């Protein structure tokens, strides 16, 4: 079992506010939400953080293009991310903005600490810079773009920059980082990403430019207002700002080091190389784990604004339903791999797994109970080996699902639950309670009880993924609110015969294609 009230701190990356949220943002935060909800139900004291990254040249330029000041611009765009959190039913405990005073104070405290440790020095920066990536690139990293222009490996345009800059002594941290990765094999996941990062560090680290003078929208460098902090030192600090750093004690002592930073694979280097180096240099423990997930394509095509195939999560919710979208995103792809969003796959999961497998199971069982057992949890007789087999499978789910969630294998966790859902459907077909109704009503009652128990355990475990639908299923079993945590799983929380249950209603409607008026094909 988990320790009661053990702290658990999980973070999303903070999202850059130069655009509106898309499926990638929804996906990362959803994975964190599912894990945060799972841990809460498992008795942990969870802090789940998300937020927005609001400084940098891109924001300054975007605001200027709209004719408004950067703070007004970020106020507007940051709200889009709060609205997404509400629409997706995310359960974050905090929402941090890098324009908040608490964050500026933490950034400046970290800077001063690094100066005290002789980890920062002033020099001049000359090199290639991509505004879009807010990143510097070495000559040998550049690729040829159209018309022979130099471009970043990400495809972003680069410009030659020469300016005074403060540098962080990253080159001093290569061996220490390698040692840290070896001592903490679970620090970077999945394994393929870990190998990538280690290979990058093994190749040698250059000192890192951590300030800019060519624009003003950022956290001022303490003692030198001509400079503002480079966006990555500023942005990454949010994870300790949110737990009260630089104040020791309180939330910082309770929740730091973070249990998990969830990120997209494109920002892994910042989180797995720069961030632990900054922290170790400041005498702060690095986080326990960084998980880099993959990207989505749309019907097999790379998603891009220029192609116009960006997936809006709000439109998905409107088309398919909130819990259906949440389920699909966690179920469709091995977490960590790239995945493809297609209408056909979405409808397949909705109708095949949610409506047919789970929804139909619950509806059949509860309808038969309502009709044949006076609308109450039925009396139970002796269990047969088949009954016991299904009950044991349902009661044993947490022990199988918990380690999968701990390594962010969401798709495997759901498949493990579905093994029991499919077993329950096979059991109901074999036992045929509709036949037993006439031949052996007492046996029918036991069969329905076993099925209700299977549904109860599945519904409790499905709450992190489909919170609203799982709540409806538990309502229909008359499960009180205080009996919905993982402590109620298994025999200890079993249904009590004679408990009245409400009239059953469908929870997962089938998706029906909207009728279209097709033009006559000529």
Q: How confident is the model at residue 134 (pLDDT cuts 50, 70, 90)?
A: confident
Instruction: Name the average pLDDT for the chain.
Output: 93
Q: What is the pLDDT of residues 236-260, one digit of tens each?
A: 999 999 999 999 889 999 999 999 9
Confidence of residue 306 (pLDDT cuts 50, 70, 90): low
Q: What percent of the chain has pLDDT over 90?
A: 80
- Lowest mean pLDDT segment, chosen from 269-278, 306-315, 371-380: 306-315
pLDDT at 12 over 70: yes
In 10 A of CB 30, how many CB atoms? 23
Q: How remote is the C-alpha of 343 from its chain's centroid?
A: 22
- The residue-averaged pLDDT of 389-416 equals 98
* Band (151; pLDDT cuts 50, 70, 90): very high
* DSSP reduced 3-state for 411: helix
For 349-369, write each residue's pLDDT tens digit. Answer: 999 999 999 999 999 999 999
Share of the chain above pLDDT 70, in %: 97
Does residue 208 contact residue 168 with C-beta atoms inside 8 Å?
yes
DSSP state of 499: -
Give the least confident one: 2-6, 49-53, 88-92, 474-478: 2-6
CA gap 414, 457 in Å, rounded: 13
Is it the case that residue 412 has pLDDT exceeding 90? yes
- Given pLDDT bands bounded at 50, 70 and 90, which one contains residue 516? low
Q: What is the CATH number of domain 343-493?
A: 1.10.730.10
Determine contact, residues 256/8, Cβ cutoff 8 Å: no
Distances (CA, A) of 425 to 41, 87, 168, 360, 368: 26, 33, 60, 9, 14
User: Is there a contact between 162 and 153 (Cβ–Cβ < 8 Å)?
Assistant: no
Query: Average pLDDT for residues 134-156, to the nearest whole number?
Result: 86
- pLDDT category at 468 given cuts 50, 70, 90 is very high
Q: What is the mean pLDDT of residues 284-293?
A: 97
Q: How buried is 513 (Cβ within 10 angstroms: 0-12 exposed, 13-18 middle, 19+ buried)?
A: exposed
Find the mean pLDDT for residues 409-430.
98
pLDDT band for position 277 (cuts 50, 70, 90) = very high
Specify the pLDDT at position 36: 98
Q: Does 310 score more than 90 pLDDT?
A: no
Whether residue 300 has pLDDT greater than 90: no
Query: If you average pLDDT over residues 405-422, what whole number do you get?
Result: 97
SS3 assignment, position 67:
coil
Q: What was the pLDDT predicted at 519?
A: 44
- Sequence-ordered list of residues with C-beta below 8 angstroms from that of 267, at least 6 positions apart, any chain: 13, 292
User: Where residue 522 falls among pLDDT bands split at 50, 70, 90?
Assistant: very low
Q: What is the tens place of the pLDDT at every residue in 153-206?
A: 988 999 998 889 999 999 999 999 999 999 999 999 999 999 999 999 999 999
pLDDT for 4: 58
pLDDT attached to residue 296: 80
pLDDT tens per residue, range 93-110: 999 999 999 999 999 999
DSSP codes joined into one string, 98-167: TTSHHHHHHHHHHHHHHHHTT-EEEEEEEEEEETTTTEEE-GGG-EE-GGG-EE-TTS-B-EEEEEEEEE
Residue 224 has pLDDT above 70, yes or no: yes
Angle, helices 385-395/397-406, rounded to nearest 10 degrees: 30
Q: Domain locations in the chain? A: 343-493
Give me the mean pLDDT over the 403-422 stretch: 97
Band of pLDDT at residue 208, cut at 50, 70 and 90: very high
Is pLDDT of 344 > 60? yes
Please say if the pLDDT value at position 442 is more than 70. yes
Cis peptide before 426 (omega within 30 of 0): no
135: confidence class by pLDDT, cuts 50, 70, 90: confident
Task: From 233, 239, 232, select the one nearest 262 (Cα to Cα).
Answer: 239
Predicted confidence at residue 471, as pLDDT, reads 98
**Residue 126 binned pLDDT confidence (cut-offs 50, 70, 90):** confident
Distance CA 51, CA 257 (A): 19
Q: Does the pLDDT of residue 428 top 90, yes or no?
A: yes
Q: Could you tell me the pLDDT band of residue 521, with boundaries at 50, 70 and 90?
A: very low
301 is in an annotated binding site: yes
Please report the pLDDT score of residue 1 as a whole number.
Answer: 43
pLDDT at 503: 93
């Amino acid at each position: 079992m988990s320790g009661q009230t053990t702290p658990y701190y999980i973070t999303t990356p903070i999202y850059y506010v130069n655009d509106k949220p898309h499926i990638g943002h929804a996906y990362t935060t959803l994975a964190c939400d599912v894990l945060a909800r799972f841990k809460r139900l498992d008795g942990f004291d969870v802090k789940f953080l998300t937020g927005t990254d609001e400084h940098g040249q891109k924001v300054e330029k975007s605001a200027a293009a709209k004719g408004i000041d950067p703070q007004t611009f970020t106020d507007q765009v940051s709200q889009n991310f709060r609205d997404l959190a509400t629409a997706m039913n995310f359960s974050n405990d905090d929402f941090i903005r890098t324009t908040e005073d608490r964050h500026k104070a933490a950034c400046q405290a970290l800077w001063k600490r690094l100066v005290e440790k002789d980890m920062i020095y002033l020099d001049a920066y000359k090199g290639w810079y991509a505004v879009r990536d807010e990143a510097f690139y070495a000559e040998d990293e550049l690729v040829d773009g159209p018309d022979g222009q130099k471009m970043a490996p990400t495809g972003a345009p680069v410009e030659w920059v020469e300016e005074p800059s403060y540098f962080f002594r990253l080159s001093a941290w290569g061996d220490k980082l390698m040692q840290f990765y070896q001592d903490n094999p679970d620090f970077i996941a999945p394994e393929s990403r870990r190998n990538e990062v280690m290979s990058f560090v093994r190749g040698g680290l250059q000192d890192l430019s951590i300030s800019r003078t060519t624009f003003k929208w950022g956290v001022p460098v303490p003692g030198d207002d001509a400079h503002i902090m480079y966006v990555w030192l500023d942005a990454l600090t949010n994870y300790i700002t949110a737990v009260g750093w630089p104040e020791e004690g309180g939330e910082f002592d309770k929740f730091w080091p973070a249990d998990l930073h969830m990120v997209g694979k494109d920002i892994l280097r910042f989180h797995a190389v720069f961030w632990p180096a900054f922290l170790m240099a400041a005498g702060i423990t690095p986080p326990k784990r960084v998980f880099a997930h993959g990207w989505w394509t749309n019907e097999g095509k790379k998603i891009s604004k220029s192609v116009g195939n960006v997936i809006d999560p709000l439109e998905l919710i409107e088309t398919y339903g909130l819990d259906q979208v949440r389920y699909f995103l966690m179920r469709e792809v091995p977490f960590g791999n790239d995945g493809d969003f297609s209408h056909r796959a979405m409808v397949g999961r909705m109708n095949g797994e949610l409506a047919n497998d789970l929804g139909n199971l619950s509806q059949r069982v509860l309808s038969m109970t309502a009709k044949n057992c006076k609308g109450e949890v039925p009396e139970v007789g002796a269990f047969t080996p088949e009954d016991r087999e299904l009950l044991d499978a349902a009661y044993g789910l947490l022990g199988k699902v918990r380690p999968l969630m701990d390594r962010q294998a969401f798709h495997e966790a759901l498949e493990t639950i579905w093994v029991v859902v499919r077993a329950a459907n096979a059991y109901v077909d074999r036992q045929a309670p509709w036949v037993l109704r006439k031949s052996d009503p007492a046996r029918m009652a036991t069969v329905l009880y076993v099925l209700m128990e299977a549904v109860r355990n599945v519904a409790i475990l499905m709450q992190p993924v489909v919170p609203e639908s799982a709540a409806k299923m538990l309502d229909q079993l008359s499960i009180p609110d205080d009996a919905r945590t993982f402590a109620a799983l298994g025999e200890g929380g079993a249904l009590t015969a004679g408990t009245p249950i409400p009239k059953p209603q469908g929870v997962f409607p089938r998706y029906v294609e909207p009728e279209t008026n097709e033009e006559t094909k000529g």
